[in-house]
């Protein structure tokens, strides 16, 4: 009986040797262990054997079974490996190619310094309770000028070199165009900001672009004073620059504010010694602002005897230039990865 086991095992081993798939190997094993002419049948007959034979057959059956199973496993993994090698040979994918070392940050996408500044500015005002308004780029003459106290024949209208569209429409020259609409809500206390694109027909230089982004803000309620204005803007600047920045206030003229002011900060690029950005002055105008002119309130149906408020509107690219010490604003829009990569 032992010899029967040995010959069964030898046959199964030879079959496995020549098998070409792991399914075929499984079938051979099944047959080898089976009750029909296999190891199963032999084990069934053990009980009829003389004692000395019994002692031999059991262990031999187990030994052959274990040896065959491990041989089958070896053969299966050799087949799998051969299949993988064959697949890799016909594939164009090269898993041995080394990864990119020293990945250059300039090659990674990221937010431009301008976008970072815009997001942060909006977040700071949101924290202070300002609602964010949006408006169209194309507005009418009334929204851009008339509602803001620019009389028809006033030379102040010439302050902006405007891109006119058709039928009295124009590309807004400032985000102040939303003031009228915000005031008309009469939803006091009003605290709103308008980040948005503006357009002026002017030549570009280190501080000016024909298309730029402003952030307008207005606050209107009873008893709003210039103190609220200055405190709000100083708080904003401190949040943006993460340091106490030196500011000063000078008079400025805009027909829609009275008094009109210019908030200036100590130049953060040259720290006062004078550079291209601050035109050598050491100070730089960052925030035109003022108390909303009574006529602007009246135009929107708000009683200037009862309500007062302030407004400001600044260019976001200038703040970005100051924050990141960028001497020329044109760099920010040039899409040069060498420049943008520095800020990632
Ligand atoms: N709209 C003005 C400009 O674009 C800026 C400004 C806004 C001034 C609000 C005062 C108050 O120049």
Please name the residue whose Cα sits nearest to atom 6 of ligand 1.
313
Residue 121 has pLDDT above 70, yes or no: yes
Domains of the chain, earliest start first: 2-90 (no CATH), 112-343 (3.30.930.10)
Ligand 1 contact, 288 CB (< 6 A): yes
Average pLDDT score over residue span 69-84: 90
Residue 29, Cα to own-chain centre: how many angstroms?
A: 58
Quick check: 197 and 137 in contact, CB under 8 A?
yes
256-312: per-residue pLDDT in tens? 999 999 999 998 878 889 888 788 999 999 999 999 999 999 999 999 999 999 999
d(CA 211, CA 256): 22
Ligand 1 contact, 310 CB (< 6 A): no
pTM of the predicted structure, to 2 decimals = 0.68
pLDDT bin (cut points 50, 70, 90) of residue 104 is low
d(CA 287, CA 275): 19
Ligand 1 contact, 179 CB (< 6 A): no
Average pLDDT score over residue span 182-190: 97
d(CA 219, CA 291): 9
The confidence score (pLDDT) of residue 267 equals 86
282-296: per-residue pLDDT in tens? 999 999 999 999 999
Which range among 58-72, 193-207, 252-266, 327-341 has the greatest average pLDDT? 252-266
């Amino acid at each position: 009986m032992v010899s029967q086991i040995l010959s069964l095992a030898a046959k199964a081993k030879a079959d496995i040797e020549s098998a070409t798939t792991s399914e075929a190997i499984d079938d051979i094993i099944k047959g080898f262990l089976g009750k029909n002419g296999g190891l199963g049948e032999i084990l069934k007959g053990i009980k009829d054997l003389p004692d000395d034979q019994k002692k031999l057959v059991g262990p031999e059956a187990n030994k052959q079974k274990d040896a065959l199973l491990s041989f089958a496993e070896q053969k299966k993994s050799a087949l799998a490996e051969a299949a993988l090698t064959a697949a890799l040979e016909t594939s164009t994918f090269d898993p041995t190619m080394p990864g990119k070392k020293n990945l250059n940050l300039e090659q990674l996408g990221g937010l431009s310094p301008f976008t970072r500044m815009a997001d942060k500015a909006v977040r700071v005002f949101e924290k202070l309770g300002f609602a964010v308004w949006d408006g169209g780029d194309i507005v009418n003459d009334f929204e851009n000028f008339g509602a803001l106290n620019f009389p028809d024949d006033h030379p102040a209208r010439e302050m902006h070199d405007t891109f006119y569209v058709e039928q009295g429409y124009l590309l807004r020259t400032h985000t102040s165009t939303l003031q009228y609409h915000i005031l008309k809500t009469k939803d006091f206390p009003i605290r709103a900001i308008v980040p948005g694109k503006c357009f002026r027909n002017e030549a570009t230089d280190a501080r000016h672009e024909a298309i730029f982004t402003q952030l307008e803000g207005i606050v209107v309620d009873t008893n709003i004073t210039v103190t609220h204005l200055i405190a709000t803007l100083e708080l904003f600047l401190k949040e943006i620059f993460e340091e106490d920045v030196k500011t000063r206030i000078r008079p400025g003229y805009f027909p829609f504010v009275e008094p009109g002011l210019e908030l200036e900060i100590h130049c953060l690029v040259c720290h006062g010694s004078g550079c291209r950005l601050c035109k050598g002055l050491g100070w730089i105008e960052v925030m035109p602002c003022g108390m909303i002119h009574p006529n602007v309130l009246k135009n929107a149906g708000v009683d200037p005897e009862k309500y007062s408020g302030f407004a400001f509107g600044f260019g976001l690219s200038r703040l970005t230039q100051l924050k990141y010490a960028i001497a020329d604003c044109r760099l920010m829009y040039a899409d040069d990865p060498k420049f943008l990569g520095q800020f990632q």
